[in-house]
Structure 1
């Protein structure tokens, strides 16, 4: 929510397209799968109804992929394919993407998934690292203050991809940000 508040407070019109489904694996977000197709449908509908344009995708997902070695080892390949397919289907080949590198995971392969996230190496993909942010006593979820800090880090990453003068308006019309798993708005 802190990301949304910071962006809305800074810019005139912002449309947020939540597509979050917690506890999912990246394989469920591949082209042809329900979650992927629904996301593309929602994103296109948001732009069509608001007359705006896509400005960024926020991607915060992967904890479930840390459980199984096959999912963890295929993560980087699937992530790159997902980002490329999404950009293609939204007809925006350089669509900025802000992704979060996990701080925790549900299984023993956290380091494998984190490495994939940190080394995606695609143009206009900025990775924000959640490692080191304080966790709740359950050892899995970020504290509220950590979530607020992460939101600020994501805004900073977004502005690093799309720098603008402070006196200029960012977009004309509605700006659409497509939001993904575990980043609930």
Structure 2
């Protein structure tokens, strides 16, 4: 953890009341003091395993910050400590979400961040359609995510959708229709959540020399890269220089943290680009 993040955690712990800090991966319930709805900024975390996170968890990743919360599996707001996702409990770990939340909270001291983790490892984009069923996790990724998002919106305001997905569509047949499906998904999320202009931020797939990209993965990457040109209030986050954990698929823990910082940077750049009302 960076020194700034550690100091931020300590200072904010003095001004906010939190009854319990260390949380289990499943998100054991803890009583937290929620801010006013307009000061509770929510972020929707969706996609597959590189959004959920597979990095090695350290004690620093489980230091709670009372201004960075997550909606746990049971639907309770608790301090956001890794792992924040619960799609595959045996393998889930550090992801990009917590670092993203810390970065946003540090830059906006007047707000509290609420993370809504909904990623499902291994899910192709077809799983992110209404009614779609994911057999490995026995879940309905889209339907379950929308249900959680609506519950979260009772307490706060949606500020961005964070997306990292595409490995599951990196074959010729699926890649051919990936752009159509992703653009439809963005529109569907925005309509369903009554947030027509909410920022949509997509992260680049891992670029690992040990596993060269095929043409299908290059096509998926192109779709992600072109989002800012084709979709309003969208951003693309590069994975340049990031490394994997040894499996040539998932980022390592430090790369996830760096990815979180890059998503936060993209978020603030989109904010600054918004015209004044």
With normalisation by structure 2, the TM-score equals: 0.54
Structure 1 counterpart of 2:162: 58
Report 1:168-183 matches (<5 A): none
Structure 2 counterpart of 1:111: 218
Distance in 2 (alpha carbons) for counterparts of 1:103 and 1:31? 28
Distance in 1 (alpha carbons) for counterparts of 2:148 and 2:163? 16
Say yes or no: does 1:154 pair with 2:263: yes
Residue segments in structure 2 that go unaligned for 5+ positions in a row = 1-97, 133-139
Distance in 2 (alpha carbons) for counterparts of 1:161 and 1:111? 25
Computed over aligned residues only, the root mean square deviation of the Cα atoms, in angstroms, reads 2.0
Are 1:104 and 1:110, in contact at CA under 8 Å, matched by a contact in 2? Answer: no
**Misfit runs of 4+, over 4 Å:** 104-107
Show CA shifts across 1:59-104 (max 9, x none): 01111111x3111111111000000011011111111111102125
Are 1:17 and 1:46, in contact at CA under 8 Å, matched by a contact in 2? Answer: yes
Structure 1 counterpart of 2:117: 18
Are 2:119 and 2:141, in contact at CA under 8 Å, matched by a contact in 1? Answer: no
Q: Which structure's residues are more often helix, by fraction?
A: 1
Are 1:101 and 1:129, in contact at CA under 8 Å, matched by a contact in 2? Answer: yes
Say yes or no: does 1:46 pair with 2:177: no
Q: Which has the higher contact order (CA 8 A, sep 6+)?
A: 1
Are 1:6 and 1:155, in contact at CA under 8 Å, matched by a contact in 2? Answer: yes
SS of the aligned residue for 2:114 comes to: strand
Show CA shifts across 1:95-132 (max 9, x none): 11111021259983211111111112200010101143
With normalisation by structure 1, the TM-score equals: 0.79
Q: Residue 123 of structure 1: which of 232, 244, 249 is its match?
A: 232
Distance in 2 (alpha carbons) for counterparts of 1:138 and 1:36? 27
Cα shift at 1:4:
2.0
Distance in 2 (alpha carbons) for counterparts of 1:81 and 1:88? 10
Residue segments in structure 1 that go unaligned for 5+ positions in a row = 165-185
Say yes or no: does 1:135 pair with 2:239: no
Distance in 2 (alpha carbons) for counterparts of 1:61 and 1:131? 16
Structure 1 counterpart of 2:179: 76
Residues paired across the two proteins, number: 161
Distance in 1 (alpha carbons) for counterparts of 2:173 and 2:180? 12
